[in-house]
Structure 1
Amino acid sequence: MDKDVVPELLEAIQREFVELYGASEVVKKSFEALKAKKATYETANELAIEVGEILSTALKGSVSSLKLPDGKMYYNIAQRLLTETLGRNYDIISGYAGDVQKLLNDEAKIGLAVQVPAINQDRIDGLINRLSFEKHFDDVAWLFGEPIVNFTQSIVDDSIRKNAEFHAEVGLSPQIVRKEGGKCCVWCSEVVGVYRYPKVPKDVYRRHQRCRCTVDYHPGNGKKQNVHSKRWSDPSKNAKIEARKQIGLPIQAGAKNYFRDESNDDVLPKDFIKAEKHAYITYDRIKNSNQELEKRKIYSNIGKFKEMKDFTKEDVDIAFNHVFNDVHILREGKSLFHPEIDMAESWERLISGKNIQPHDLILLKHERLEHDYMYVKGNMDYDSAHAKTDETYNYGSALVKYLERKNNGKI
């Protein structure tokens, strides 16, 4: 019976990988940047190239025709080797890219869960099949070189695509930037550019062997997002907008308390603009309504949910006032919270009692606890209080689950 060579090969590969990974300055600087909250997708791409090259070196240094039965890379050997080693690269890079996206989401004030792409098993299977096709490993040993690096880089590209596409689905307008890396070939030069969803060519995420182009995505795209909103605004216009926002803050019948920034409408989807206008109208209508009646409706409508049995009328009042009446110190100054599309729909369902969703109930609990973190328990600033509250009542994560069910026709 032939000896199983895979355990020894994996041990040798792992040993060399760990040694090179631990000594890498690129790896060290990448995680230092992450810890300092300065990491970007370009940092992730640099790390991916380094980790890919480290694995390539480890594979080439540990696997040779002399160590393989009959000098051939049999299918079962290739499958076990690449499933393990490329799987480890996937874990490292997808985890790092996920941490980068979390930083970017937090910076842009997007309360959405980070999307993690599935491992590209088709690419792994392609390498396995190609390795096992030839009679002699030496004829395909080159596959342990650049294709390993290319696969590892693609994990970053897949992470960007997964998150950008998700952000587009929920109403944002993601902007993707592809930059040249070194001396570009003709094909790469043609896909270099700045693209905004939905007009993003699929080829922008593709890369050929030895391609060092970078694909980058920042949810803010150089603009600042309004707190409590998915709406982008140009910081240079903040002073003008802030002055307009102060008009009508007190509750007045028919007063306009929320002023929508229309400066970016030329780059936003029409459906999003329509929905956001609805949000602003909804917030104004609720704020100018008979608020005591609206609060009593909410309290009555949530009474049928067992998870709300301990949520009192006073809790409803505090959560409602926190959103519609209290003026907060936000990043751009003193202001009411800005109308947000999904939250407007949540408040409409809570008031009407029709089709109340799990994330609507979480919204009430979130606003109630956030109020305490800001004004009672810890006197926290809004950003800190919001993040702390998300640890217990994460409206964004619950909303994502709702939107996924809705998009899949399950609601």
Structure 2
Amino acid sequence: MKRSTATATATAFAGGSSSGGEKSRRRTGKSMDWINGDTLCIIFSFLDFFDLVRCSAVCKSWNMVINRSRLLHALYTKKVIADASYSLIDMGRPLNAVLEDMAMRRHRSSLINGSVHVNQWIGHTSGVEQCRMKMGLILTGVGDKVMRLWSAESCKCLEEYSLSDLPPLVDFDFDESKVVGLTGTRICIWRRHGNRSIFPSREGTFPKGLCMRYMDPEAAVGCEDGTVRVFDMYSKSCSRIIRMHSAPVTCLALGEDQLILSGSSLGSVTLYGPTSDQRVAVLRASDRTGIKTLCYNPSSQLVFTGSTAGYAACWDLRKMKSLWEKRVSPNVVYSIQCLSNDPSTLVVGGIDGVVRILDQNSGEVLSSCVMDERKAKLTRTKSLFGLVERKEVNRLPCDANISDIPLTARPPIKCLAVGMEKVVTTHNSKYIRIWKFTSKTRN
């Protein structure tokens, strides 16, 4: 049995879209009741290591079968013995820690050396600027007063959130239960699959908001007057007003320990710690132009910024010192992001439309990618406004002259989001693009 066939068979047994799965659920009440653990073990034994990890996350019963059979441990031991980059010390570490490390190594390998293509589709009726990606889902919006939630795998629209009766959307964020949007001086909450609620207007306490980040139970709004307003999602009230800058707050990042980081139009990054209830530090790069984008990696305690002059910079919060500062774009860096548990790679997008992969610790550009406009084909997947196009991608040599590449192949990247072996980009156009990277070594 081929691996792809085994994966498809396993998915069908999970109760996919087939009519047989629906009939079995109606007959037994549970889609897994009619297949025993021994049969599942036989199917799972045909999968490679990472597909088996994915199957273990499908449901509790699959997880139990996989762990009891020790299939993951067997494949992991085989991989450590076969791969010289792993040591026998790794075999003594907790399996979850090793799995995460292996996943991040594969993610890095895919971004730098793997094959890559772009799926693009029309997702909105006017220019879309913002995107977020979490849990295999993509949220897009800003432009036509509609936010749409997409599947990162199928590119299909799953949910839609309308702002027809509200001011234009400025920023948004989401998690597994809610979508939170900033519309100038108001915050809105959409329950996933539910109704919308709007924070009450509080005259004089909420100047124009320019950016927002959300981490349950709070949303932080960066304002034009240099403050950050923190709102409680449940009481719908402003719990804190923090003076962060003397200039407009242009970007925000939140840490799980309630750390708030903000960038300003004057080129500084301010850290606020809730325990001391005051600014912890102010970080400044030698490039004093405005901070356009900000990314915080909690796993490595590193902070990354992109400036209006095309510079990327990094600070280590454990030492409160600058690690590097490099010009990575001829002009504005609009977006800079990484996976929260990835300690090695960073993805940068800017005005020249090139997707660049950087080393987090040195700032070295490891790979640069642009679409190949000459090669495209329509897939069978249908999006909201038409078919999904698949385009090939060119990895650029270090000495490539960007100006020689047609602008149609590299529209400015206004926002990007990073997932496992995926990068989503928006370009202030109707198109949404998802860059899919595939490691050369899949097993």
Indicate the structure with greater strand content: 2
Same fold (TM over 0.5): no
Indicate the structure with greater helix content: 1
Q: What TM-score does the superposition give when structure 1 sets the normalisation length?
A: 0.27
Q: What TM-score does the superposition give when structure 2 sets the normalisation length?
A: 0.26
Larger radius of gyration: 1
